[in-house]
Structure 1
Amino acid sequence: MRNYQQYSTSIKVYYSLGVEKTMIDKTIREQIPYSTSKAWKSYADKPVIGLEFEKDLPKNLKELEVLYHPAVKIPKDVFVACMQLVILLSNVIGKQQFQKTIRNNKDQFINFIEQYSEIFSCDTFAQILNISTKTLYNWKQQVKFKCEASALLKCVKRHPNQATIHEVQIIKERLTNTDFGHWGIHSIWAQAFKEGVTNLSKQAWYHYNKLLVFRKYSKKGRKPPNADPLRAEKMNQIWHADITVFKTLDGIKHYIYTVMDNYSRYILSWRIERIVSAKIRLETIQEAIQNAFNGQSFSDLQLVTDGGPENDNQTLKSFMNLNHASIHHDIALRTIQQSNSMMEAFYHITKYRCLYLQKIRDYDHLFNVFQDWILEYNYKKPHHALGIYTPAEILNGSNKHEKYDGRMNQAGIERRAFNKNANCTAKCH
């Protein structure tokens, strides 16, 4: 019985496409009977099932012939290695980070693509970089046509929702103002919004600062809370008390006592002393009660402290027992699950936005600096948890949950109309 030779499907495809001399080695071609190869070549004229899937193969026939020509073997290997390197970098760095890097350096990539536009199409580059052709086209428009009517140099008619140059200039002026160098971006935005200087959202300020880098800031990780944070529903429902230590240039340690209202973040009382004392702690609490209630009766006030010796002692226990109907004391992470983080956050901001920025010589210097800081904190600097308001404004009845969607939406309508009517001569739209 005669044994028939079996051949790879790829060999049959090469013969049917007429590229056998380029794709198949001569020694193999000589082993194939003429009648067999002739039958393969005639596949295109016969109703062979599945032959239609071959229709895409001839599209780049010339490129295939050049790529697999022996004379370009080394360049072909280099090209393959480069493509493998691109894939490797994308996998190692991560697709999102890889694309972010390309986006941040799109000018260089677009200029490179333009340089080799006769060799590679935008579609090819988009496939290599694993991004959409539409995205690549938009980048190309942004790089080729710098719109002078836009702070981002993006066509204002194609992108009418972007902030105007005037609006971005306000962001720049405020964020680079040294008088607000110790304020966070939220506080600066809130002050500008409250003054009517800007109608952009807080998120827009962060967005444009990220793109144009008016002010640098580092991202920090955040430890997830062990329990839901304490949040009061009204004034004088929950108070926080704590102390922190600060050493002046004369080498002396000073202990800063403060009492804060949870709802408004208002500092109700403060003292700076050289010792840790239960007596001083109690005096600051009594002072806060006087400042908040002015001799009037009150009830159900929750005081939260940590378990430090100035807080967990017989002096405070006796006071709480005498006033149990008015105030009760909870120790963070002991009698309640929550921490005293609100007070700790205040001290962190106080030190890194104020005290550490100055060379504080002694007690008197520290007292004056801290006194000015409390005035600024309570009355001037909008708090990130209070919308556009300061603690004092919340204390006086302002609504920290107030919404400004109407004002921002109207500003957005006017901004789009302004951008669409911009006097732009670039023909990128």
Structure 2
Amino acid sequence: MYKNTRKQRSYDHRLKELVRSTGNIDFAIQRGVPRSTARGWLTKNMSDVITVDALDMSLVELQCEVVELRRRNSGLIALLRLIITVMKVTHFTLSQIRLPQEAQKLRVLQAIEYSRAHFPLKTVLRVIGLSYGRYREWKRNECGLEDLPSCPRSSPHQLTAAETRTIHEMVTSEKYRHVPTGTLARLAERLGKVFASPSTWYRLVRIHKWRRLQQRIYPAKPKVGIRATRTNEIWHVDTSFVRLVNGGRACIHAVIDNYSRRILAWRVLDRFEPGITARLFLDASQDTTVGTLWACDFFSKRAITRRGLVDLYVLVFMHLETREVLATPSTRNPDSAWVTKQTKAFVNLVADREQKPTYLIHDRDKKFSTDFKRLLKNEGIQPKRLPIRSPNLNARVERFVQTIKYEALNHFIEFGQRYLDYLVSEFVSYYNKHRAHSSREYLPPCCAEPPPEFEVIKLNEIHCEEHLGGLIKSYERIAA
């Protein structure tokens, strides 16, 4: 049997492309290509040829190319190690991350398809922590990649997109604005539009955040609240429920003055009683004069003595209407006997006033002993103890303590008890006679009438009075 041992010759693809582009086979015949072969190039489809530009490069260029590829390869390896280390340390895995948007899932699927050209699918899914079942669900893509509560194709009993649009139209329609959502679901069944339970309607309204039209058009909410112009002009009744540690609840009823924010009467009960409001109004109406209400509290300041640093304590009494302050001398040991002694001095000091104090607010400090309360009751003053952990109920005295520390005491180093008493007395004198208060129409506590108004005041008519060595200054017009 005859056997052809001739080897099949191969030709450069560039020569074939030249013959096909020009249609002239002479270029091939001149270079020893048979005529029949050259004619075949004109009729047959040419296969795709991928050229390697490295074949045309010199040895030096190839070596430079290899060095550059090694450098880039080492950088990519270092970056890949860093990413893998961070993923291991942070325990990153897609199994614990929800991707609700379709664009996010498409990006992950595209990255997986690109990686499959280099690694098996099982390896890629294990690296990113994506289960094969979840990957397969994404690839199915029957109802889109957006997270939906149901898919009509996979669950025929669920709502279709047309039925969902019908629900949306009926919920947001002005025609059914007076119909409740549950009744609207039954109405849609009677009309033959949508057959779904009211719970499904409520769930769709909540998920898609559809806003139903209001049944009534309410007036605009006022931006300016009710404000009184004087004391006891407007009262408010407030009821608050407080959850206790033991699981129970306490009901706090209170009558509050709108102008002074003062609590006129209050009760704490274990349940809500509507009839308590009348009794609170009666209690509040028994004493509607703010001028009889005082409050007291302690504050401390560290001073330098011969024995080292010592905490000194001062007891402060404040008239809540005028903000007038009376401060006691400081002491190292503020025991109950000292508190009773200072309270006796306070009672003697205000005994000659027209408006004698009838109430004294104090906190739950043990220094306010039984002797302290007995002394007040003998003088016709009723002590009012604050609830537990409620410093805001004695806010005006707390604010004075902050003011005297920030404006005066924190600017000095107190050397001894007498020096601290001097600083406190000087600031209290300035506070009562010169410091303005916005709630009193910018009048000092001990000033009952505002000063006369002048259109023009010359500089030589203004007197500057310095307090605490010039730390605090007050200005007033020189009397004519």
TM-score bracket relative to the smaller structure: 0.3 to 0.5
Kindly indicate which of the two structures has a greater share of residues assigned to strand: 2
> Which is bigger in relative contact order (C-alpha 8 A, separation at least 6)?
1
Structure 1 or 2: more helix by fraction? 1
Q: TM-score, normalised by structure 1?
A: 0.36
